[in-house]
């Protein structure tokens, strides 16, 4: 989630906001076609409602574009606050713009994950070695207890 001035948004809502700003006054269908995770207009409407509730976009039914009432396409445009939010996201290193930037960000993330995985794997190996040592110690104690029982039984 991205937060700026008490506005926290899921990444997907930010993605919709960025596309609304980029496309100008897109319909929900246009946005759905541009976003891989949106298989229905309802997914876009949900995100547009989130954005409109925070004052970042304005939405309306476009009666002139065909359809009437509930069938009229829904359009959106960014508000001044939405544009300011996007500027803050860009300043804070939000979503990378180019494929190269995205690849670089992914490589950094993967390097961090690889480092963390390596440390965890090393720690697991250390703990397994300690468990083996304790297991051997317990075997020795069990043998000692058996010897004491045999001695006491005789």
* Averaged pLDDT score across all residues of the chain: 84
The per-residue pLDDT for 92 is: 59
End-to-end CA distance of the chain: 72
Among 77, 95, 113, the domain-final residue is 95
Residue 85, domain extent? 2-95
Look up the CATH number of the domain holding residue 38.
1.10.10.10
Residue 36: what are its φ and ψ, rounded to 5°?
Answer: -65, -35
Q: Are residues 123 and 86 in the same domain?
A: no
The per-residue pLDDT for 153 is: 87
The per-residue pLDDT for 9 is: 80
Q: Are residues 104 and 137 in the same domain?
A: yes
Q: Are residues 48 and 12 in the same domain?
A: yes
* Cα(142)–Cα(25) distance, integer angstroms: 77
Please give the tally of structural domains in the chain. Answer: 2
- Contacts of 82 by beta carbon, 8 Å cutoff, 6+ apart: 17, 20, 21, 51, 55, 56, 57
Cβ neighbour number for residue 90 with a 10 Å cutoff: 13
- Average pLDDT on 81-85 reads 88
Cβ neighbour number for residue 32 with a 10 Å cutoff: 19
More confident residue, 67 or 72: 72
Q: Are residues 34 and 90 in the same domain?
A: yes
What percentage of residues in the chain have a pLDDT greater than 70? 86
Mapped onto helix, strand or coil, the DSSP state of residue 66 is coil
Q: Are residues 51 and 112 in the same domain?
A: no
Q: For 128-142, how does the pLDDT look when each residue is reduced to its tens digit (9 = 90+)? A: 999 999 999 999 999
pTM of the model: 0.53
Q: For 89-143, how does the pLDDT look when each residue is reduced to its tens digit (9 = 90+)? A: 776 555 556 778 778 888 888 888 898 999 999 999 999 999 999 999 999 999 9
């Amino acid at each position: 989630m991205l937060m700026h001035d008490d506005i926290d948004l899921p990444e997907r809502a930010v993605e919709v906001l960025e596309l609304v700003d980029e496309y100008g006054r897109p319909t929900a269908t246009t946005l759905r076609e541009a976003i891989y995770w949106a298989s229905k207009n309802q997914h876009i409407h949900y995100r547009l409602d989130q954005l409109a509730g925070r004052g970042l976009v304005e939405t309306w039914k476009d009666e002139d574009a065909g359809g009437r009432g509930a069938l009229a396409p829904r359009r959106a445009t960014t508000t001044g606050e939405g544009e300011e939010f996007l500027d803050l996201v860009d300043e804070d290193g939000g979503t990378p713009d180019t494929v190269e930037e995205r690849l670089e960000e992914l490589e950094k993330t993967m390097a961090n994950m690889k480092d963390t995985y390596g440390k965890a794997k090393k720690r697991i190996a250390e703990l397994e070695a300690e468990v083996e040592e304790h297991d051997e110690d317990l075997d020795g104690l069990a043998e000692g207890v058996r010897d004491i029982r045999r001695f006491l039984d005789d």
